[in-house]
Structure 1
Amino acid sequence: MKRLRFLKLRNLEITGGYKYLPNKLECLDWLDFPLKSIPRDFNLGEVVAIYLRRSQLRYVWNDSRVLAKLKILDLSDSYFLKQSPEFSTIPNLEKLVFRHCHNLSEVHHSIGALGRLSTVDLAQCSSLKELPTSFYKLKSVVTLVLDRCVRFEKLDEEIGDMTSLSTLRVNETAITELPSSMVRLKNLRCVSLRPRSDMVRFENRECLCRTKSYSREYRSTRRLLLPPSVQGLSSLDTLRISDRDLTYVPKDLGSLASLKNLDLQFCTLQSLPSLSGLNRLVDLNLTGCNLTDEIIKIMDLGSLFSLKLLDLSRNSFTSLPSLCSLSKLKTLDLNYCENLVAIPKLPASLMMLEAKKCTALVIMPDFSSVCNMRRIRLLGCYKVVDVPGLDRSLKNTMRLLNMAGCNNITATLKEKILRVSLSLSLSLSSSIVNIWCRDGIS
Structure 2
Amino acid sequence: MNAGSSAHATAASSSSSRRSNRWKYEVFISFRGKDTRLTFTDHLSIASEGGEYTERTDREIEGSRITIVVFSKRYAESRWCLRELSKIMRCREDQEGKVVYPIFYNVDPSEVRKQSGSFGEAFQKHERDEDPNEVEQWIKDLNAFADLGGRNLKTTADRREGVFIQKVVGDIIGLIKTSDSKEAKHSVGIAFRVEEFSTKYLDVRGSHDVQIIGIWGMGGIGKTTLARTICEGKKKNMVSLQEQLLRDILKQPDIKISSVAEGTKEIEKRLGSMKVLIVVDDIDDADQLDELVIEHVSFGPGSRIIIITRDEQVLNIQKVDKKYKAQTMTDEEALELLSWHAFGNHCPDKEYIELATDVVDYCGGLPLALNVIGRLLATKKSKSIWKITWDKLRNLPHGKIHETLRLSYDGLSDDHVEGVFLDISHFFINWIGTHVMAILDSCSCFCVESEIRTLQDRCLLDIDSVMFRMHDLIRDMGREIVRAEYAMEPRKRSRLWHHEDVTSVLRDESGTEAIRGLTLVLPENSDEHPFRTKAFKKMQYLKFLQLNYVKLTGSYHHLSKELRFLCWHGFPLEVIPEDFDLRNLVLIDLSYSKLVRVWEDSDLLPKKLKFLILDHSRNLTQLPDFSKLPHLEELSLNGCKGVSGGYHFFAQMKMLHDLDLRDCNITDDAVLESLRSLSSLRILTLDGNGFNRLPILCGLSQLEMLYLNHCTNLQAIPDLPKSLFLLEANYCTELEIMPDLSEMLEMTELQLKDCSKLKDIPNLDNFFCNMDTIHMEGCTSLTATFKENILLGDVIGGLSLSVNDIPRWLPYVARADETVKVEVPPTFDYIGGLAVCIIYSSDNSDCTGSLCIHVVNRTQRTCFHIWPMVTTVTASHECYLWLGNLTNKKLNLKGGDKVRVHADFIETEDDHQIKVKKTGVDIVEWEFSASDMTYVDYDRMPYESDEEDTDDDTELSDYSSDEVQPCKRFKSCFANYTGLVLVHSGCAAAGHGREICRGSFGDGGSSDSVGIRHSSYPR
Query: What TM-score do the two structures reach when normalised by structure 1?
Result: 0.65
User: By how many angstroms is 1:391 displaced?
Assistant: 1.6
- Confirm or deny: 8 A CA contact 2:490 2:496 kept in the other structure: no
The equivalences for 1:229-244 within 5 A come to: 229=601, 232-244=605-617
Find the aligned partners of 1:105 and 1:426 in 2 and give their Cα distance: 53
- Confirm or deny: 8 A CA contact 2:567 2:590 kept in the other structure: yes
- Confirm or deny: 8 A CA contact 2:751 2:774 kept in the other structure: yes
Find the aligned partners of 1:74 and 1:286 in 2 and give their Cα distance: 44
Question: What does residue 192 of structure 1 align with?
Answer: 589
- Confirm or deny: 8 A CA contact 1:160 1:185 kept in the other structure: no
User: By how many angstroms is 1:375 displaced?
Assistant: 1.1
1:306 aligns with 2:680: yes
Find the aligned partners of 1:413 and 1:188 in 2 and give their Cα distance: 52
Question: What does residue 365 of structure 1 align with?
Answer: 739
Question: What does residue 660 of structure 2 align with?
Answer: 285
Find the aligned partners of 1:293 and 1:30 in 2 and give their Cα distance: 52
Change (3 A) 1:316 1:284: same
Query: Aligned letter for 2:713?
Result: N
Q: Deviations over 1:294-346 (max 9, x none)?
A: 35245x21222222211110011112222222222221110000111221211
Please, which of 507, 513, 524 is the counterpart of residue 107 of structure 1? 507
Change (3 A) 1:30 1:321: closer
User: By how many angstroms is 1:388 displaced?
Assistant: 1.6
Please, which of 672, 686, 704 is the counterpart of residue 330 of structure 1? 704
The equivalences for 1:81-92 within 5 A come to: 87=491, 90=492
Query: Aligned letter for 2:780?
Result: N
User: By how many angstroms is 1:242 displaced?
Assistant: 1.5
Partner of 2:545: helix, strand, or coil?
Answer: strand
- Confirm or deny: 8 A CA contact 1:137 1:158 kept in the other structure: no
- Confirm or deny: 8 A CA contact 1:343 1:363 kept in the other structure: yes
- Confirm or deny: 8 A CA contact 2:752 2:775 kept in the other structure: yes
The equivalences for 1:267-286 within 5 A come to: 267-268=640-641, 269-271=643-645, 272-286=647-661
Find the aligned partners of 1:248 and 1:160 in 2 and give their Cα distance: 29
1:227 aligns with 2:599: yes
- Confirm or deny: 8 A CA contact 2:536 2:560 kept in the other structure: no
Change (3 A) 1:86 1:364: closer
Please, which of 422, 425, 428 is the counterpart of residue 799 of structure 2? 428
User: By how many angstroms is 1:132 displaced?
Assistant: 3.5
Question: What does residue 187 of structure 2 align with?
Answer: none
Query: Aligned letter for 2:787?
Result: K
1:348 aligns with 2:746: no
* Count of residues in correspondence between the two structures: 337
Question: What does residue 376 of structure 1 align with?
Answer: 750
User: By how many angstroms is 1:175 displaced?
Assistant: 4.9
Change (3 A) 1:103 1:155: closer
1:246 aligns with 2:615: no
Q: Deviations over 1:61-114 (max 9, x none)?
A: xxxxxxxxxx94489xx9xxxxx9694xx4xx4322234779769532232xx2
Change (3 A) 1:85 1:122: farther
Report sequence identity in percent. 29
Partner of 1:428: helix, strand, or coil?
Answer: strand
Question: What does residue 117 of structure 1 align with?
Answer: 515
Question: What does residue 98 of structure 1 align with?
Answer: 498
Query: Aligned letter for 2:799?
Result: L
Question: What does residue 31 of structure 1 align with?
Answer: 396
Find the aligned partners of 1:103 and 1:185 in 2 and give their Cα distance: 24
User: By how many angstroms is 1:223 displaced?
Assistant: 6.0
User: By how many angstroms is 1:162 displaced?
Assistant: 2.8
1:130 aligns with 2:531: yes
- Confirm or deny: 8 A CA contact 1:283 1:307 kept in the other structure: yes
Q: Deviations over 1:229-268 (max 9, x none)?
A: 4883211011111225233233413542211121110111
Change (3 A) 1:282 1:154: same
- Confirm or deny: 8 A CA contact 2:572 2:595 kept in the other structure: no
The equivalences for 1:394-413 within 5 A come to: 394-395=768-769, 397-413=770-786
Find the aligned partners of 1:32 and 1:370 in 2 and give their Cα distance: 53
Partner of 1:146: helix, strand, or coil?
Answer: strand
Larger radius of gyration: 2
Change (3 A) 1:236 1:165: same
Partner of 1:144: helix, strand, or coil?
Answer: strand
- Confirm or deny: 8 A CA contact 1:104 1:128 kept in the other structure: no
User: By how many angstroms is 1:369 displaced?
Assistant: 1.3
Find the aligned partners of 2:658 and 2:543 in 1 and give their Cα distance: 24
Find the aligned partners of 2:568 and 2:558 in 1 and give their Cα distance: 16
Please, which of 557, 568, 586 is the counterpart of residue 170 of structure 1? 568
Question: What does residue 81 of structure 1 align with?
Answer: none
Question: What does residue 393 of structure 1 align with?
Answer: 767
Find the aligned partners of 1:346 and 1:435 in 2 and give their Cα distance: 33
Question: What does residue 153 of structure 1 align with?
Answer: 551
Change (3 A) 1:402 1:145: same
Find the aligned partners of 2:554 and 2:716 in 1 and give their Cα distance: 48
Find the aligned partners of 1:342 and 1:238 in 2 and give their Cα distance: 32
Find the aligned partners of 2:395 and 2:633 in 1 and give their Cα distance: 40
Partner of 1:370: helix, strand, or coil?
Answer: coil
Question: What does residue 416 of structure 2 align with?
Answer: none
RMSD: 4.0
Find the aligned partners of 1:227 and 1:343 in 2 and give their Cα distance: 36
User: By how many angstroms is 1:138 displaced?
Assistant: 4.3
Please, which of 286, 292, 296 is the counterpart of residue 671 of structure 2? 296
- Confirm or deny: 8 A CA contact 2:533 2:559 kept in the other structure: no
Find the aligned partners of 1:170 and 1:265 in 2 and give their Cα distance: 16
Query: Aligned letter for 2:610?
Result: D
Find the aligned partners of 1:153 and 1:340 in 2 and give their Cα distance: 42
Partner of 1:310: helix, strand, or coil?
Answer: strand
Q: Deviations over 1:413-442 (max 9, x none)?
A: 223212224xx5661215346599999xxx
Change (3 A) 1:86 1:108: farther
- Confirm or deny: 8 A CA contact 1:305 1:327 kept in the other structure: yes
**Higher-RCO chain (CA-CA 8 Å, sequence separation at least 6):** 2
Query: Aligned letter for 1:146?
Result: L
More strand by share: 2
Query: Aligned letter for 2:544?
Result: T
Change (3 A) 1:435 1:270: farther
Question: What does residue 139 of structure 1 align with?
Answer: 540
Find the aligned partners of 1:355 and 1:430 in 2 and give their Cα distance: 15
Find the aligned partners of 2:619 and 2:505 in 1 and give their Cα distance: 29
Q: Deviations over 1:364-413 (max 9, x none)?
A: 11111110111111111122222122123312x11111112222233332
Query: What TM-score do the two structures reach when normalised by structure 2?
Result: 0.30
Find the aligned partners of 1:339 and 1:30 in 2 and give their Cα distance: 51
Q: Deviations over 1:131-183 (max 9, x none)?
A: 44251564321111112xx3x2347542486321110011245455422334x
Partner of 1:391: helix, strand, or coil?
Answer: helix
User: By how many angstroms is 1:122 displaced?
Assistant: 1.9
Question: What does residue 179 of structure 1 align with?
Answer: 577
User: By how many angstroms is 1:347 displaced?
Assistant: 1.4
Change (3 A) 1:229 1:384: farther
Partner of 1:181: helix, strand, or coil?
Answer: coil
- Confirm or deny: 8 A CA contact 1:98 1:123 kept in the other structure: no
